[in-house]
Amino acid sequence: MIQSRSGEPQLIDSHGRVLRDLRISITDRCNFRCVYCLPETEEAANFYRSRFQSAAGTSIRVPASPIHREWKPKAELLTFEEIERIARVAVGLGIEKLRVTGGEPLLRNGVESLVARLAAIRGVRDLAMTTNGFFFAGKAVALQSAGLQRISFSLDSLDPINFKKMTGSDGLTGVLDGIDLARRMGFDPVKVNAVVIRGLNDHEIEGLASFAQERSLIFRFIEFMPLDSNRAWQKDLVVPGREILARLKTRFDLTPVDSSTNPSETAKRWRFADGRGEIGIIAPVTEPFCGHCNRLRLTADGKIRTCLFSIHEHDLRPLLRADATDDDLREELLRIVVHKEAGHRIGKPDFVQPARTMSCIGG
């Protein structure tokens, strides 16, 4: 049996993949209503309605039944102590990277205290957070002081009108200020993510890349995935990663970044030739990278998901709230990861969209 540095067995699945990355959602709530996650605004409805028009314009295809969403009551969310305990056990089994996500993680009161708990776990090599950036300015100093090493922001548009159409929020200025603040504070690197949707923000690809170059950011373009609450995803709304790259190469001088030493890297990366920042393409729909996936996900209510598109979840909360020992948790995690899926089924006839949206799963 392969062992981690601590001498414990490693988290290794039936396909031989050793898991190193744990994504920890701490809330399912979000203050944004993004069209690719919680499309609950009139702008989102209008966009999808227009896309469902037939070629003749005489009929509308009705989306599949929406996912029923209810925010989890506080009592069902894991406490910070419970999250820390799972993380500590997982790190003992070889997990090295922790990322705090949501929903919007900065909506959770006292999030900086959780960051401090996670930063204190021996063996954590990388502690990061993904946020929409809206509340970042008010939490930035506390988060950095608590031990947060890296921060990733979501930014799907630089146009205030289009930003509101995509997110349901007027918060563009605050997000941009948050990104600049993170740079000034020395977070390194600062990553920014954009989900690209045809007919909505694909005309901004070059502008977003210029934004990244001007500020020496790492910018990731992500294909639109079927994780929205209205189940309105359509493949023709996906802008393939190769199309994004081809457009960027006509505008920018890009140098490939060698990722061979990190086969689990989700992004194919290129550096701007002048050395100011880089862009990455994450193409889970058209170029799946499941074969090297080394991630587990912990939902805010204590479920382990072995894939972003898992149909089945594994509930750790009953163990945490009974008399389970850390050894019990270790054995359960080892049992769970054996059944990690070989890959997702997007685009296949038997694909089933997960019952939870991205907000409820954790990014």
* DSSP per residue, 8-55: SBP-B-TTSPBP-EEEEE--S--S---TTT---SHHHHHHHHHHTB-T
175 with 168: CB under 8 angstroms? no
Across the strands, what pairs with 238? Answer: 197
| Residue 44 pLDDT | 72
Per residue in 34-74, pLDDT tens?
888 877 777 777 777 776 664 345 444 445 555 556 677 88
- Beta sheet of 126-131, edge-to-edge order: 254-256, 268-272, 278-282, 218-223, 190-196, 150-154, 126-131, 97-101, 21-25, 295-298, 303-305, 314-315
CA atoms within 13 A on the CB side of 252: 28
* Cβ atoms of residues 147 and 112 within 8 Å: no
Q: How far is residue 253's CA from residue 227's CA, in Å, rounded to a whole number?
A: 33
Token pair 């089933």 is found at: 352
Rounded distance between C-alpha atoms, residue 186 and residue 100, angstroms: 19
Does residue 168 come out as left (phi exceeding 0), alpha (psi in the -120 to 50 range) or beta?
Answer: left
Beta carbons within 8 Å of 110's beta carbon, 6+ residues apart:
80
Asked if 99 and 128 touch (Cβ cutoff 8 Å), the reply is: yes
Return mean pLDDT, the chain.
88
User: What is the average pLDDT across 120-137?
Assistant: 97
State the pLDDT at residue 358: 67
Residue 54: per-residue pLDDT: 46
Q: Which strand (E) or helix (H) includes residue 152? A: strand 150-154
If you ran DSSP here, which 8-state letter would residue 79 be given?
A: P
- Provide the residue ranges of all domains of the chain, joining segments of one domain with +: 21-53+61-361
> 21-53+61-361 architecture in CATH?
Alpha-Beta Barrel (3.20)
Among residues 266, 301, 312, 304, which one has the least CA distance to residue 103?
301
The pLDDT tens digits for 293-331 are 899 999 999 999 988 878 889 999 999 999 899 999 999
Task: Output the pTM of the full model.
Answer: 0.90
Look at the chain and count its residues.
363
Distances (CA, A) of 274 to 207, 247, 270, 278, 279: 17, 19, 12, 10, 13
